[in-house]
Structure formats: C-alpha cells, structure tokens
C-alpha cells in the first residue's frame, strides 16, 4: 500500500470480530515497533502482548476516564500495552513513535487498532506488574475489524502549516525566497565537498 494511502486508511477501530490474530502477524506488528526512532537509539520500549481473556477483562475493568469505559478492550482479541524504561527525558516520546509504527503496520496487514490513553497509569502498572519507575503511555487493541469506521474530519493542511515562521500561515513552497534558500543550501553543500589532500 502506498504510504499516504496507509496513513489515511488507519482508523480507530472500536468493533472487532472474535477471530484470533495469527501469532506471526502479531510478531510483524511488534517488529514494526522495534524499528522506530528513539533518542540516542535508547530503544526504551517494552511491549506486553495480552491475549488471555481474564487479563483483558481486568484491563477493561480498570481502564476508564471519569467512569467512561472502552468496550473494544473487551471485544478485541489482543491488547498490546506499550511501556518504557526512563532512559532519557524522551522515553515517552520514543514509546509513542514505536506505537505509531505498530498501528500503521497493523493497518497494512488488514488489522484494526485503537490507541487507548484513558486510564490511570499507576493502577495499570500495578495490575500488569510493570515496575513503578517505568512509563506506561498507552495500549492499543488489535484484531480484525467488524466495521469500517468513517474517517473523522481533519483540519485542512493550510490551517495547520506555516512558512518560515509561525506568523506566515499556510504552506507556500513556491515563493522565490524559498527557492533561493534551497539554492543557497545546495551551493554551500557543493563548496563544502571534501577536497583531496594537498601535497606538502
């Protein structure tokens, strides 16, 4: 699948078929997480693959925001919990990068996912015996989608992009100044090319 098509196709899936996910597909998803970027290549992430119905039920019972629960934690045959050791100040970011790789990989494999951030981190760590010092930024459901959710609206690209500084709203890559700055960079790269050593 072309990358933009994949990025657009990924949806938060909240209804799943009961069919189990083959272990080799789960492994591919985890492999995608393994190749995420991380600060100083610290790779602080740890992934907990939960398929046991009792553990999934316990997660479902615990995860909520002001009493609002996530039934997809019950219906999806797999939950993958994303944890991170605190190796750098960026460990939480690293774990989220790994998670996004996994969500996109799952989409590419025809699987559905939904990222869940609505739960009490300390209580969830205790439930899953994750060391208290670790981070647990989130988890995601994984399984075959029972429905194909419609894409929720997105803000327009022109609304969220700026050129050169925040003040100039919108993307304008055709401006002569931009072209000139690229030419200047290219020219500098040419000048900085390593020269052969000069003879004494």
Ligand X SMILES: Cc1cc2nc3c(=O)[nH]c(=O)nc-3n(C[C@H](O)[C@H](O)[C@H](O)COP(=O)(O)O)c2cc1C
The least distance separating ligand X from the CB of residue 59, rounded to whole angstroms, comes to 12
Long-range contacts of 131-134 (CB under 8 A, 24+ apart): 133/85, 133/86, 134/46, 134/83, 134/84, 134/85, 134/86
- Shortest approach of ligand X to residue 61 CB, angstroms? 15
Give the containing element (helix H, strand E) for 81: strand 78-84
- Closest distance between ligand X and the C-beta of residue 192, in Å? 41
The residue ranges that bind ligand X (CB under 6 A) are 11-12, 70, 114-118, 152
Of residues 32 and 96, the one with the C-beta less far from ligand X:
96
Q: Provide Rg for the chain, Cα atoms.
A: 22
Q: Characterise 25 by phi-psi region: left (phi > 0), alpha (psi -120 to 50), beta (else).
A: alpha
In this complex, which beta carbon is closest to ligand X, that of residue 10 or of residue 172?
Answer: 10
Give the C-alpha distances (Å, rounded to integers) separating 138 from 15, 39, 84, 144, 164. 19, 19, 10, 20, 34
Q: Which residues pair with 65 in a beta bridge?
A: 68
Inter-axis angle of helices 23-34 and 91-108, to 10 degrees?
140
At closest approach, how far in Å is the CB of 125 from ligand X? Answer: 17
Could you tell me the smallest distance in angstroms from the CB atom of residue 98 to ligand X?
14
As measured in angstroms, the least distance from the Cβ of 149 to ligand X is 6
* Residue 51 or 64 with smaller CB distance to ligand X: 64
Secondary structure percentages of the chain, helix, strand, coil, to 5: 40, 20, 40
């Amino acid at each position: 699948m072309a990358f933009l098509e994949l990025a657009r196709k990924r949806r938060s899936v909240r209804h799943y078929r009961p069919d189990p996910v083959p272990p080799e597909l789960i492994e591919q998803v985890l492999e995608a997480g393994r190749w995420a970027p991380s600060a100083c290549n610290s790779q602080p992430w740890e992934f907990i693959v939960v398929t046991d119905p009792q553990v999934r039920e316990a997660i479902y019972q615990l995860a909520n925001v002001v009493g609002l629960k996530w039934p997809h934690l019950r219906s999806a045959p797999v939950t993958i919990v994303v944890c991170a050791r605190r190796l750098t100040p960026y460990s939480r970011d690293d774990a989220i990068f790994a998670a996004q790789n996994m969500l996109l990989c799952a989409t590419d494999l025809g699987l559905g996912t939904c990222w869940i951030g609505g739960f009490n981190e300390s209580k969830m760590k205790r439930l899953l015996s994750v060391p208290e010092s670790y981070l647990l930024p989130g988890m995601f459901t994984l399984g075959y989608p029972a429905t194909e959710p419609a894409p929720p609206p997105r803000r327009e690209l022109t609304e969220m992009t700026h050129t050169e500084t925040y003040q100039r709203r919108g993307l304008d890559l055709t401006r002569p100044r931009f072209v000139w700055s690229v030419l200047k960079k290219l020219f500098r790269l040419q000048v900085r090319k390593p020269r052969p050593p000069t003879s004494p």
